[in-house]
Structure 1
């Protein structure tokens, strides 16, 4: 099988460098099957990388996959019908439209045009056919690549239209464009049926992942009233990114822990929230809440009450003297060097085990990242609204404080304050 994969890869690359309307060597059914599986094995890692890239755009808030039409289909159509549609019917008709014509002998539109010319005489028919064959061979590379790009671009309609989506469309439809090239290779070299089977298998694999992801979601609550709507799903998808979108009248969380959700709804820091059941705190949720009333100040309290009813917890509050840190400006001139005038949409926050990278963001964003990384309560006492770029190595808290002081002209000053600590009490498991 390894030899077949290498051979298929070599054949594919040679074809894509210079596509020609020429069939490949005759293969047995077993050999065709090996060729098909080999191409699928070559394709999957490429698709995974592209999907991760698109997931990154989603994490940055540039793309909302919840509005993707395939997800709508998965949610609304029975599984059996969904598989028939996405694995058989849709691929078959897409292959007819986008790739059947890639062999001249099967290009019925051109043959029909020639047949019309035949009414003017045999000589004209022969001239027309000679001209079209010559043009077909000369422009075949363009024809082949145009079919793949067109196939990809059609899939941009799966996303809800916006100028951002339009701008990102080359990335968003890159998986379909590459798939179009791979299927086109099989269709030209080994026939329409093998190309269709490649399309069907691709959809079966990747739609299957979507179905498994949906099966990992269990609906906890789904309520709609005249005042609000709320939907809570418990997820077990540890590989998908977490996204948080907070608005005055709505909340949209995807794959976010119950602890993080409650901290936001309680207007407090996660460090100040404790529980008698850590397993419950670690549950990850999809939460979608919409406040339909005119009073947006009730958004958090209504969502919190619904969560409390769903998980049957109570909230206890105690005021305790707590060690905190205040972020202050030590040297405005040093800090000014990292100021950015670009206040447009597109800030970036990256926190990993080695460093914190913040681009085009306010000091509050830095404070949030430092709080999360150091597990320490930090308050912004700078009182400035400008945007800055920061890069910090995350060795330890003392190192972070040193970098802030000498590189950015900022300093963390320890204080003691009376802070409200919150305990979420879940009922004891029987």
Structure 2
């Protein structure tokens, strides 16, 4: 896990299309990045809850909450775990290999990673507070975008789609389980 984490941090600090890998075990690296992504998502959970509790941003108006109230669980699962990862990875990770020059890749990687996060602002009703807190509200997606970019470069687009799907599935299934209680 330490090796994967160091490799990830090295990549995010200096992204490169020709990233050299110290660990070539695809399943192990994928699992490590999945665990890191879940831990990252869980880290931001209390921060987002605090923003909600302080009344700074109304999370009750979140598009996912509305979707879950108006749509069957199967449809929500299909949209979040199949459709969204495929569409978003095609938009935000597939183009990464088009940037052949090192500086162009670095700029493209950071731009697409931040754009991926910012697109998720559309899940909120846009208010002044949503704009003020935007960096925090989409921080989980921005960090996840970095992880997905790493996996995309290291193993290919299919693996970034699978990681994105696994991440979404973990949190969607957790939400479904919480609804049962």
Fold equivalence (TM over 0.5): yes
Gaps of 5+ in 1: 108-132, 217-430
Output the CA distance in 2 between the equivalents of 1:34 and 1:137.
27
1:83 paired with 2:98, answer no
Output the CA distance in 2 between the equivalents of 1:48 and 1:202.
11
Q: Quickly say closer, same or farther: Cα 1:204–1:93, change in 2 above 3 A.
A: same
Secondary structure in structure 1 of the residue aligned to 2:57: coil
Please list, as runs of the form range in 1=range in 2, the aligned pairs for 1:70-219 lying within 5 A after superposition.
70-104=64-98, 133=100, 136-216=101-181
Which digits, 9 at most, give the CA deviation of each residue in 1:230-287, with x for residues without a partner? xxxxxxxxxxxxxxxxxxxxxxxxxxxxxxxxxxxxxxxxxxxxxxxxxxxxxxxxxx
Higher RCO structure, 1 or 2 (CA under 8 Å, sep 6+): 2
Output the CA distance in 2 between the equivalents of 1:191 and 1:97.
14
Secondary structure in structure 2 of the residue aligned to 1:161: coil
Secondary structure in structure 2 of the residue aligned to 1:61: coil
Secondary structure in structure 1 of the residue aligned to 2:133: helix
Specify which of 10, 35, 56 is matched with residue 41 of structure 1: 35
Compute the displacement of 1:45 (Å).
2.2
On the 8 A contact 1:32/1:194 being kept in 2, the answer is no
Compute the displacement of 1:44 (Å).
2.1
Compute the displacement of 1:7 (Å).
1.7
Gaps of 5+ in 2: none
The TM-score normalised by the length of structure 1 is 0.40
How many residue pairs were aligned?
Answer: 181
Larger radius of gyration: 1
Give the 4+ runs in structure 1 shifted more than 3 A.
Answer: 23-28
Q: Quickly say closer, same or farther: Cα 1:60–1:146, change in 2 above 3 A.
A: same
Counterpart of 2:15? 19
1:67 paired with 2:32, answer no
